[in-house]
Amino acid sequence: MTIAQDDVFAAADAIAARGGEPTNASVRAELGDRGSFSTISPLIKEWREQQEEIAALPAEVEARALEAAGTIYTIARDAAERAYHGDKAKMQAQLTEAHTARDEALDEVHRLESVNAELEAANEEMQTAVSDASEALSQARVEVTEVRSDCSDQVNDLKSQLVAERARADALERVLETLRPEAPNSDGEAT
């Protein structure tokens, strides 16, 4: 894997920040034993030259650089705080909206659960009523069948009685005919 200048400079800065002396071996170890000494060595040399240039700056330049860095830090911190407070206010408003939406959703869930319970109870009552009606209908069908059978038997009995009564009436009519004297008609003849 290729080692870049930034990698070597960052490793040397880290070693120096801990109070160590950046050497080829310590920089290579800081890089996780990556890179060859022939790659690291010229970059370490370049890093040292940069450090010497920085150290050779006049005190006034250093003071102005520190002042500028302090100003930049203050401006950046203030901007970050403003952004933080603005974001915090936005997030708080979003959180409040989310809580309100959640509460409304929970209220709706409770309402729907209540409606569902009522519908389930009504459905159970309806199923019971349907079951009762179905049972009553079955019973009524049985009773209708029994009544039809009874009626059919009674009709047959009445038909038999009617036939018997007609036969009896016919017989009585014949007896009456034989018992009746002959009445003369308008011509004076017996009929």
Neighbours of 7 (CB within 10 A): 19
pLDDT computed for residue 140 by the predictor: 87
Q: Tell me if 166 is assigned to some domain.
A: no
Amino acid at 59: A
Q: Tell me if 33 is assigned to some domain.
A: yes
Neighbours of 9 (CB within 10 A): 17
Q: What whole-number percentage of the chain has pLDDT above 90?
A: 43
Least confident of 43-47, 167-171, 176-180, 185-189: 185-189
Q: Tell me if 37 is assigned to some domain.
A: yes
How far is C-alpha 103 from the chain's CA centre?
Answer: 17
Q: Tell me if 191 is assigned to some domain.
A: no
In terms of residue numbers, what domain contains 44? 1-56
User: Which residues is 190 bridged to in the sheet?
Assistant: 184
**Prediction pTM value:** 0.35
Kindly report the average pLDDT of the chain as a whole number. 87
Total number of domains constituting the chain: 1
pLDDT computed for residue 186 by the predictor: 62
